[in-house]
């Protein structure tokens, strides 16, 4: 949910990821990150990817995020081209509340995308709140589905020794 002066001005749902990004302009975004009300860091970067395990093998992976097993109840926060070498992806409990305070000095209006679809455009001082929905989904896989086999195939990992 995106808030402006305490009033909701945008929302969206995502299965894979929520992305804060500069939109069409290539500009740095300044923001502060809070998890469960605790300040984590302030950052200047091209944005932030908040990915579920389902989304961890897509956009977040290309941004340097970890591969997460689908049974994990976590999300990962992957900085996009941060302006510091110390900024790294972190994995947190999926029940956490993520708050992103958009910096007041931003010259561009960052976009918020849910699974690749822009849902809202933020202004300086807006607050993006990301939480897990209370409803759960169950994904259906073919009989014999093997997560690691899919990874080996898609990522070109080698076969077992001697094969």
pLDDT, tens digit, 9 for 90 and up, residues 43-53: 999 999 999 99
pLDDT, tens digit, 9 for 90 and up, residues 84-109: 888 999 999 999 999 999 999 887 89
111 domain residue, yes or no: yes
Beta pairing class for 127-130 and 2-4? antiparallel
88 domain residue, yes or no: yes
> By residue range, what is the domain housing residue 98?
2-136
143 domain residue, yes or no: no
pLDDT, tens digit, 9 for 90 and up, residues 21-80: 998 777 899 999 999 999 999 999 999 999 999 999 999 999 999 999 999 999 999 999
Query: Which CATH number fits the domain that encloses residue 116?
Result: 2.60.200.30
- Is residue 11 within 8 A of residue 129, CB to CB? The reply is no
**116-to-9, 12, 67, 112, 149 alpha-carbon distances in Å:** 19, 11, 19, 9, 26
Residue with tokens 């202004």: 123
Q: What is the CA radius of gyration of the chain?
A: 17
pLDDT for 79 equals: 97
Domain total of the chain = 1
156 domain residue, yes or no: no
36 domain residue, yes or no: yes
Q: Taking the CA of residue 83 as centre, how many other CA atoms within 13 Å lie in the half-sphere pointing to its CB?
A: 12
154 domain residue, yes or no: no
Token reading at 15: 């299965």
Summarize the confidence of residues 103-117 as an average pLDDT: 90
To the question of pTM greater than 0.85 for the whole model, the response is: yes
């Amino acid at each position: 949910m995106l808030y402006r002066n305490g009033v909701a001005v945008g929302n969206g749902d995502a299965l894979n990821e929520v992305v804060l990004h500069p939109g069409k302009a290539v500009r740095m975004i300044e923001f502060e990150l809070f998890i469960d009300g605790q300040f984590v860091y302030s950052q200047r970067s091209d944005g932030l990817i908040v990915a579920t395990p389902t989304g961890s093998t897509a956009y977040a992976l290309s941004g340097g995020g970890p591969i997460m097993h689908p049974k994990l109840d976590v999300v990962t926060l992957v900085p996009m081209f941060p302006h510091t070498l110390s900024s790294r992806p972190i994995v947190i409990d999926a029940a956490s509340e993520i708050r992103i305070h958009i910096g007041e000095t931003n010259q561009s209006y960052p976009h918020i995308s849910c699974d690749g679809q822009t849902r809202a455009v933020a202004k300086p001082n807006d607050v993006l709140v990301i939480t897990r929905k209370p409803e759960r989904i169950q994904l259906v896989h073919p009989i014999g589905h093997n997560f690691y086999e899919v990874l080996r195939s898609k990522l070109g990992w080698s076969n077992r020794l001697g094969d």
